[in-house]
Amino acid sequence: GYDITLSKSTLKLVGNKTYDNNEKLVIDPKSFSDKYLKDLSVTEEGYFLLPEHSYALGVSVEKFNIPPYVTAIALGKSTYARSGILINVTPLEAGWKGYLTIEIANLTSLPCRVYSEEGIAQLLFFQGERCATSYSERCGKYQAQPSEVVLPKV
């Protein structure tokens, strides 16, 4: 395994804004808008406050270049899990490269501190046969992600 670190450079709170009551908003992964986002700032102590029942998007400090015979999955660190924080990162497919967008959900009814520039999740690597068509060969839509939050794409 390998611990990935949450960057403090790009953090976005999703869907926790006050909207006009006449506007019916629905988060649609096929038509995601940055109007759902609010910038989060890290304090001098190195954390940001994640409101109750909300989620944020962040990005890893590390850049990855996954070989065509390796797949990786991420699991949240136990300290965050025991605090009601769910960390989600989709699989790092064989042949994928870039910085990881990290989803951070607060499942509790209280605000929670989330610390940047510390371990947020652990990657587990699985080696196998070279895949028939790697992520890079099929030109996956999230290939070569920059060191910033990447929103859903169709």
**HSE (side-chain half, CA atoms, 13 Å) at 134:** 18
Taking alpha carbons only, the member of 103, 7, 104, 102 closest to residue 50 is 104
pLDDT at residue 24 tops 80 = no
Query: Is 126 in a helix, a strand, or coil?
Result: strand
Distance (Å, rounded) from C-alpha 148 to C-alpha 146? Answer: 5
79 φ, ψ to 5°?
Answer: -60, -45
Residue 96, C-beta contacts closer than 8 angstroms, at least 6 positions apart: 64, 66, 134, 135, 136, 140, 142, 143
Burial of 84 (0-12, 13-18, 19+ CB in 10 A): middle
pLDDT class of 20 with cuts at 50, 70, 90: low
pLDDT at residue 101 tops 80 = yes
Query: Is 34 in a helix, a strand, or coil?
Result: helix
- Residue-level pLDDT at 31: 85
Say whether 137 is catalytic: no
pLDDT at residue 36 tops 90 = no
Catalytic residue among 103, 117, 118, 148: 103
Q: What is the pLDDT of residues 56-67, one digit of tens each?
A: 999 999 999 999
Distance (Å, rounded) from C-alpha 56 to C-alpha 59? Answer: 10
Percent of the residues in the chain that have a pLDDT greater than 90, as a whole number: 62
The reported pTM is 0.87
Average pLDDT for 144-149: 88
- Residue-level pLDDT at 57: 95
Distance (Å, rounded) from C-alpha 76 to C-alpha 97? Answer: 20
Average pLDDT for 109-126: 95
Average pLDDT for 73-80: 94
Query: Is 18 in a helix, a strand, or coil?
Result: coil
- Residue-level pLDDT at 120: 95
